[in-house]
């Protein structure tokens, strides 16, 4: 059995301050800037939460890993609770800079300039929750996510790009289940799945299926473009513009 290290041994500087929030404020002062109040349980060495001045940003979560001295961050938007920024680093001062940028409402594209470990997920902020722009944001996220997957993800990447190039699918809200591309007539947080699922097995083998397990096969294709064309043929008629997936939908 692997023994979990004592957090006070792995993070002695944090333990000396009592909790992660206090340690972040202290390192910020050492770096010459101040941080807002950061919520952290009185004895929490591994978790802290920082509010933002922007109402459409949820608090930034900072977590310390258990088996190595590394911190991770995750910042989400308020309507869907989907990540806008993520990142990991072993530099607590960099975490503090990311916290300040998130709190102060710094533009997403500028946060990595303040804290280079921060990675943008591709999603952009939609303060008014416009469903069309939320859909465009999610497409941008999928394309960003697929970019660094390497050779193993080439079929999925080709599929995302081909689907995005097709207006009938680009107008639907995209989401994935186990790397299966699916579509919804509503945004998160309440998805309404429509049409088929498309699976990229490799660069010359795609399946269009009525279920995300690929068992109810509607078509097979040799290219992503052919798979997308088959998916369009199996879309239900009369689909209108994407609407907000309200948490009260269907209640």
Of 120, 154, 179, the residue at which a domain comes to its end is 120
Contact 102, 52 (CB under 8 A): yes
Asked if residue 164 and residue 136 are part of one domain, the reply reads: yes
Comparing 22-36, 156-170, 215-229, 234-248, the range with the smallest average pLDDT is 234-248
What are the residues whose beta carbons fall under 8 Å from the beta carbon of 137, sequence distance 6 or more?
122, 123, 124, 126
- Tally of domains within the chain: 2
Of 120, 142, 160, the residue at which a domain comes to its end is 120
Asked if residue 41 and residue 115 are part of one domain, the reply reads: yes
Asked if residue 137 and residue 67 are part of one domain, the reply reads: no
Per-residue pLDDT of 220-229, as tens digits, reads 999 999 999 9
Contact 72, 54 (CB under 8 A): no
Of 91, 120, 149, the residue at which a domain comes to its end is 120
Asked if residue 170 and residue 88 are part of one domain, the reply reads: no
251 falls within a domain: no
User: For residue 131, is pLDDT > 60?
Assistant: yes
Overall average pLDDT of the 223-243 stretch: 96
240: tokens are: 């209108």
User: For residue 205, is pLDDT > 70?
Assistant: yes
DSSP string covering 205-217 = EEEEESSTTS-SE
Residue 75: domain span: 7-120
The pLDDT value given to residue 247? 61
24 falls within a domain: yes
Asked if residue 218 and residue 152 are part of one domain, the reply reads: yes
Overall average pLDDT of the 119-137 stretch: 98
Inter-CA distances, 19 with 7, 24, 101, 187, Å:
11, 9, 21, 38
Asked if residue 155 and residue 85 are part of one domain, the reply reads: no
The pLDDT value given to residue 41? 81
Terminal alpha carbon distance of the chain: 47
- ∠ CA 203-207-210, nearest 5°, is 155
User: For residue 251, is pLDDT > 50?
Assistant: no
> Counting beta carbons within 10 angstroms of the beta carbon of residue 88, is it exposed (0 to 12), middle (13 to 18) or buried (19 or more)?
middle
* Residue of 40 and 120 predicted with greater confidence: 120
86 falls within a domain: yes
Asked if residue 116 and residue 212 are part of one domain, the reply reads: no
Per-residue pLDDT of 55-111, as tens digits, reads 999 999 999 999 999 999 999 999 999 999 999 999 999 999 999 999 999 999 999
Q: DSSP state, 191? A: -
Compute the chain's Rg from CA coordinates: 21
DSSP E strands in the chain: the ranges are 47-50, 60-64, 71-76, 83-89, 119-120, 173-177, 180-184, 186-189, 197-202, 205-209, 217-221, 243-245
Asked if residue 51 and residue 149 are part of one domain, the reply reads: no
Contact 208, 198 (CB under 8 A): yes
**pTM for the whole thing?**
0.92
What is the helix (H) or strand (E) element at residue 227, kind and residue range? helix 224-233
């Amino acid at each position: 059995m692997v023994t979990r290290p004592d957090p006070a041994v792995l993070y002695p500087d944090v333990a000396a301050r009592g909790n992660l929030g206090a340690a972040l404020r202290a390192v910020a002062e050492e770096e010459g800037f101040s941080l807002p109040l950061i919520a952290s349980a009185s004895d929490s060495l591994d978790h802290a939460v920082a509010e933002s001045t922007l109402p459409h940003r949820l608090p930034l979560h900072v977590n310390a890993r258990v088996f190595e001295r590394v911190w991770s961050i995750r910042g989400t938007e308020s309507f869907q609770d989907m990540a806008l920024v993520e990142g990991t680093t072993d530099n607590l001062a960099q975490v503090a800079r990311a916290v300040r940028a998130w709190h102060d409402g710094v533009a997403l594209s500028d946060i990595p300039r303040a804290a280079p470990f921060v990675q943008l997920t591709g999603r952009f902020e939609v303060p008014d929750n416009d469903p069309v722009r939320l859909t465009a944001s999610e497409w941008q996220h999928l394309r960003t996510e697929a970019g660094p997957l390497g050779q193993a993800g080439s079929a999925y990447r080709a599929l995302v790009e081909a689907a995005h190039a097709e207006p009938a699918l680009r107008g639907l809200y995209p989401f994935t289940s186990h790397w299966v591309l699916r579509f919804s007539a509503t945004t998160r947080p309440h998805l309404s799945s429509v049409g088929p699922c498309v699976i990229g097995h490799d660069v010359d083998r795609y399946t269009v299926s009525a279920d995300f397990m690929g068992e109810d096969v509607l078509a097979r294709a040799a290219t992503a473009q052919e798979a997308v064309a088959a998916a369009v043929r199996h879309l239900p008629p009369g689909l209108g513009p994407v609407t907000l997936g309200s948490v009260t939908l269907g209640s």
